[in-house]
Amino acid sequence: MEDTSNLKTSTIEFELDDDSGSAHSYRHVLHGGRDGYRLMMRLSRIIGPALAELVEAVGDGPGLDGDVEWDRLGAVISGAAERILDDERFVQDLMRHAFRDGKALRDDHQFDLAYQANYGELGAAVKRLVIDNFGDALKRLNVPLAGAAAQGSPKTQGGASRKPPKRRTSSG
C-alpha cells in the first residue's frame, strides 16, 4: 500500500448562490495527482472535439490580435460546458471531494437535495471545480474556459459570491 502521509492537500472554500438567490458555502479538496490526471484525461475526451474549433476561432497566434471570432468562440465554449454537464459519471467523480453547506456531495441523497430544480447552481459548481482542479493545465493548453472564472464580475462567474476563494494547504 502506498504511503500518502506526506502528500499535501489543498482545500478551497467558496460560495455560490442557488437559483433562488440564497448563498451556499462550498468546500472541496483538490483531486490527487493520479485521480486528477485520470479526470483530466476524461475531461480532454469530453471537450476534445471542441479544441480544434477553439484553435480556429482564436487563431494560431500567441495572443488575441483582433482576429478572434468571438461569436464562434462563445458557442464553442458553451458547447464544451454542455458536454461536461452531459457526462453524469464525470460530474459525480469530479464532486467526490466537494461539500455544500457541510454535506458531502458524493452522497446521492445530498446531491439530489442540493440540486433539485437548482440546475444553474449545479452548472456553476461544476465549472468552478473544473477550473480549480484543471484551470492551470487548461491555461497551458490555451483553452479559454480556464480563465473565465478568474476574471470578471461575480455574475459572470456563474453566480459566485463576492468573497475571494480561500485556499489552504496542509501536510498530512
Cα 122–Cα 127–Cα 129 angle in degrees, nearest 5: 95
Cell digits for 37? 490526471
- Domain assignment of residue 98, yes or no: yes
Residues 99-132 as b or e (16 or more Cβ within 10 Å = b): bbeeeebeeeebbeebbeebebbbbbbbbbbbbb
Distances in Å between the Cα of 111 and the Cα atoms of 48, 118, 163 are 27, 11, 24
The predicted pLDDT at position 120 comes to 93
Does 146 map to a domain? yes
pLDDT (tens place) for every residue of the chain, 172 residues total: 444 454 456 899 999 999 999 999 999 999 999 999 999 888 888 877 776 666 666 665 555 455 666 677 677 777 777 888 888 999 999 999 999 999 999 999 999 999 999 999 999 999 899 889 988 877 776 665 544 444 332 332 333 333 444 555 554 4
Helix, strand, or coil here: 55?
helix
pLDDT of residue 109: 96
With respect to residue 124, please indicate whether it lies within any of the assigned structural domains.
yes
Task: Say what the pLDDT of residue 137 is.
Answer: 79
- Please indicate, yes or no, if residue 46 is contained in any of the structural domains: no
Q: What residues make up the domain containing 114?
A: 8-39+86-171
Distance CA 135, CA 4 (A): 24
For residue 101, is it within any domain? yes
Q: First and final CA of the chain: distance in angstroms?
A: 16
CB 92 within 8 A of CB 105: no
Domain count, the chain: 1
Q: Is 78 domain-assigned?
A: no
In this structure, is residue 119 part of a structural domain?
yes
- pLDDT for 158 equals 36
In a domain, 121, yes or no: yes
pLDDT at 157: 33
